[in-house]
Structure 1
Amino acid sequence: MSNLTFRDICRLFCCPPCPGHIAAKLAFIPPDPTYTVIPDETGNKYVLHLTEHAEWQYTDRDQQNLEVFLINTARGNRVACMYIKSSATHQVSKYTLLFSHGNAVDLGQMSSFYVGLAARLGVNIFSYDYSGYGASGGKPTEKNIYADIEAAFQSLRQRYGISPENIILYGQSIGTVPTIDLAKKYECGAVILHSPLLSGLRVAFPNTKRTWFFDVFPSIEKIPKVTSPVLVIHGTEDEVIDFSHGLAIYEHCPRAVEPLWIEGAGHNDIELYGQYVERLRLFIHTELPN
Structure 2
Amino acid sequence: MSLTGRELCRLLCCPPCPGHIAAKLAFIPPDPTYSVMPDETGNKYILHLTERAEWQYSEREQQRLEVFLVRTSRGNRVSCMYVKCNSETPASKYTILFSHGNAVDLGQMSSFYVGLSARLGVNIFSYDYSGYGASGGSPTEKNIYADIEAAFQALRQKYAVSPEHIILYGQSIGTVPTIDLARKFECAAVVLHSPLLSGLRVAFPDTKRTWFFDVFPSIEKIPKVTSPVLVIHGTEDEVIDFSHGLAIYEQCPRAVEPLWVEGAGHNDIELYSQYVDRLRQFIHVELPN
Q: Same fold (TM over 0.5)?
A: yes
Is contact 2:23-2:140 (8 Å) kept? no
Aligned pairs for 1:66-81 within 5 A: 66-81=65-80
Q: What SS is found at the alignment partner of 2:48?
A: strand
Q: Distance in 1 between matches of 2:258 and 2:187?
A: 18
**Which whole-Å deviations, capped at 9, do the CAs of 1:143-169 have from their partners, x for residues lacking one?**
000000000000000000000000000
Aligned pairs for 1:17-166 within 5 A: 17-18=17-18, 20-21=20-21, 24=24, 26-87=25-86, 89-166=88-165
Using structure 2 for the length normalisation, give the TM-score.
0.96
Aligned pairs for 1:269-280 within 5 A: 269-280=268-279
- Unpaired segments of 5 or more residues in structure 1? none
Q: Distance in 2 between matches of 1:112 and 1:17?
A: 37
**Mean CA deviation greater in 171-180 or 59-68:** 59-68
**Which whole-Å deviations, capped at 9, do the CAs of 1:6-57 have from their partners, x for residues lacking one?**
3354257658622645774x32000000000000111110000000000000
1:223, CA displacement in angstroms?
Answer: 0.1
**Which whole-Å deviations, capped at 9, do the CAs of 1:56-107 have from their partners, x for residues lacking one?**
0001111111000000000000000000001163453210000000000000
Matched letter for residue 282 of structure 2: F
Is contact 2:82-2:126 (8 Å) kept? yes
Large movers: runs of 4+ above 6 Å: none
The CA RMSD measured in Å over matched residues stands at 1.6
Aligned pairs for 1:174-213 within 5 A: 174-213=173-212
Map of 1:261 onto structure 2? 260
- Unpaired segments of 5 or more residues in structure 2? none
Q: How many residues align?
A: 288
Using structure 1 for the length normalisation, give the TM-score.
0.96
**Mean CA deviation greater in 227-236 or 58-67:** 58-67
Matched letter for residue 164 of structure 1: P
Is contact 2:183-2:222 (8 Å) kept? yes
**Which whole-Å deviations, capped at 9, do the CAs of 1:190-215 have from their partners, x for residues lacking one?**
00000000000000000000000000
Q: Distance in 2 between matches of 1:95 and 1:4?
A: 47
Map of 1:228 onto structure 2? 227
Identical pairs, percent: 80
Q: What SS is found at the alignment partner of 1:174?
A: helix
Matched letter for residue 6 of structure 2: F
